[in-house]
Amino acid sequence: MSNPVSYLSAQQQKRQPPEQKAVPGVKHMIAIASGKGGVGKSTTTTNLALALASTGARVGILDADLYGPSQPHMLGLKGMPDSPDGKILEPMIGHGIQTMSIGFLVDEEAPIIWRGPMITQALTRLMYETRWDNLDYLLVDMPPGTGDIHLTMAQRMPVSGAVIVTTPQDIALLDARKGLRMFEKVNVPVLGIIENMSIHICSNCGHQEHIFGQGGARRMASEAGTTLLGELPLDLGIRTGSDAGEPIMAAEPDGQIADAYRAIASQLTQMLPESGTAEKGVHKPPLPTIVMD
**What is the reported pLDDT for 141?**
96
Q: Distance between terminal CA atoms of the chain?
A: 19
The answer to whether the beta carbons of residues 160 and 138 sit under 8 Å apart is no
Rounded mean pLDDT, 235-247: 94
Give the CA distances from residue 163 to residues 40, 80, 117, 133, 227, in Å, rounded to whole numbers and listed in that order: 13, 29, 25, 23, 10
The top-scoring range by mean pLDDT among 4-8, 13-17, 76-80, 109-113 is 76-80
Q: What is the pTM of this model?
A: 0.86
Residue 29 belongs to what H/E stretch? strand 26-33
**What is the reported pLDDT for 280?**
56
Name, in order, each residue with C-beta under 8 angstroms of 119's C-beta and a sequence gap of 6 or more. Answer: 66, 67, 112, 148, 149
- Length of the chain in terms of residues written: 293
The answer to whether the beta carbons of residues 30 and 161 sit under 8 Å apart is yes
Q: Give residue-wise pLDDT tens across range 214-237.
A: 888 999 999 999 999 999 999 999
Query: CA 163 to CA 30: how far, in whole Å?
Result: 7
Rounded mean pLDDT, 64-71: 92
Residue 95 DSSP code: T
Q: Give residue-wise pLDDT tens across range 74-98.
A: 999 999 999 999 889 999 999 999 9
Radius of gyration (C-alpha) of the chain in whole angstroms? 19
Strands 161-166 and 26-33: parallel
Name, in order, each residue with C-beta under 8 angstroms of 137's C-beta and a sequence gap of 6 or more. Answer: 27, 28, 29, 30, 49, 52, 57, 58, 59, 60
The answer to whether the beta carbons of residues 77 and 94 sit under 8 Å apart is yes
Rounded mean pLDDT, 252-269: 96
**What is the reported pLDDT for 292?**
41
More confident residue, 173 or 3: 173
Query: CA 196 to CA 166: how far, in whole Å?
Result: 6
Q: Give residue-wise pLDDT tens across range 180-206.
A: 999 998 899 999 999 999 999 888 887
Residue 256 belongs to what H/E stretch? helix 256-271
Q: Which domains does the chain have, with CATH numbers?
A: 18-271 (3.40.50.300)
How many whole angstroms from its chain centre is CA 217? 17
**What is the reported pLDDT for 237?**
92
Q: Give residue-wise pLDDT tens across range 26-60.
A: 999 999 999 888 899 999 999 999 999 999 999 99
**What is the reported pLDDT for 180?**
94
Average pLDDT, the chain: 87
